[in-house]
Amino acid sequence: MDRKTRMPSQKRSIEKYENILKAAFTLFNERGYYNITTADIAKEAGVATGSIYSYFEDKKDIFIEIMKRINNKFFSPTHDFWTDKGTIELKDEESIKQIFKMFIKLMMEYHNFSKLFHDDMMALELLDEDIAVIRKENLKQREQNTRDVFEIIQIPFKNEEASKVFLHYCNLLIEDVCHEILYDKTIKDIDIYIEQTVDLLYKALQNLTEL
């Protein structure tokens, strides 16, 4: 994949660039990827359509840049997690579950996109090689950040493979749960939903560690 946005260096150009991304994100969330054009984005951003092509190759380029920014936000719950929550110690089952619970809630805070945007992202991952590569890289980076957290709190995994399995399972499950809670309006008790997820994570952890 050789698609690179052209980052501006001047203040006015940077503002225009950011306005384009902000406008695109709004439209992707409200109307969907397939239902807007670069002309629509330009109109929403208050710029000429030609200005968009000064920074991006096409609409997909804009979508990819937004995906990267969303993923960078997801780094914060893992990267800053222990710094913010450093008073918790890995003492017993309850303290471990508390860590999982806070981690889920932090991840929910960073899901600031609509179900329509999420569904388009999943569809494009299957249909577009460039976006599939980005999604794969994002998951890999997120797993590494989660690994950093687990290393800090010194979870005693049985071996390296057990650690990899749990990290992958943990990230996928938490992401799915966040989507269910945020997008499924039939869920009436979010706290119970989170508690059940935490129980699943703890049981998986027991099977893969010396706890």
58: which 2 tokens?
A: 């096409």
* 2 within a domain of the structure (yes/no): no
* CA–CA distance, 47 with 53 (Å, rounded to integer): 11
Domain that holds residue 162: 66-208
* CA–CA distance, 13 with 29 (Å, rounded to integer): 24
Q: Specify the higher pLDDT residue, 25 or 151.
A: 25
Contacts of 66 (CB under 8 A, 6+ apart): 21, 24, 25, 28
* 59 within a domain of the structure (yes/no): no
pLDDT band (50, 70, 90) for residue 75: low
At 192, which amino acid appears? I
pLDDT at position 80 is: 52
Tell me the mean pLDDT in the region 39-54.
Answer: 95
Rg (CA), the chain: 20
Tell me the mean pLDDT in the region 174-193.
Answer: 89
Does pLDDT of 82 surpass 60?
Answer: no
pLDDT at position 87 is: 45
Closest to 48 (Cα-Cα) out of 84, 20, 67, 90? 20
* 105 within a domain of the structure (yes/no): yes
Q: pTM of whole model > 0.95?
A: no
Q: Specify the higher pLDDT residue, 94 or 73.
A: 94
Percent of the chain having pLDDT more than 70? 86
Contacts of 130 (CB under 8 A, 6+ apart): 1, 3, 60, 64
* 143 within a domain of the structure (yes/no): yes
Residue whose structure tokens are 């222990």 = 82
Q: Check if the beta carbon of residue 42 is closer than 8 Å to that of residue 49.
A: yes
Q: Check if the beta carbon of residue 211 is closer than 8 Å to that of residue 154.
A: no
114: which 2 tokens?
A: 């609509």
Instruction: Report pLDDT digits (tens) over 130-182.
Output: 999 998 888 888 777 777 777 776 778 888 888 888 888 888 898 889 989 99
Cα 178 from chain centroid (whole Å): 10
Q: Looking at the 3D structure of the chain, how many domains does it have?
A: 1
Tell me the mean pLDDT in the region 185-189.
Answer: 87
Query: Which domain CATH number covers 169?
Result: 1.10.357
* 109 within a domain of the structure (yes/no): yes
| In the chain, alpha helices (H) | 11-30, 38-45, 49-52, 59-79, 81-84, 93-109, 115-127, 129-152, 160-183, 190-208
* 118 within a domain of the structure (yes/no): yes
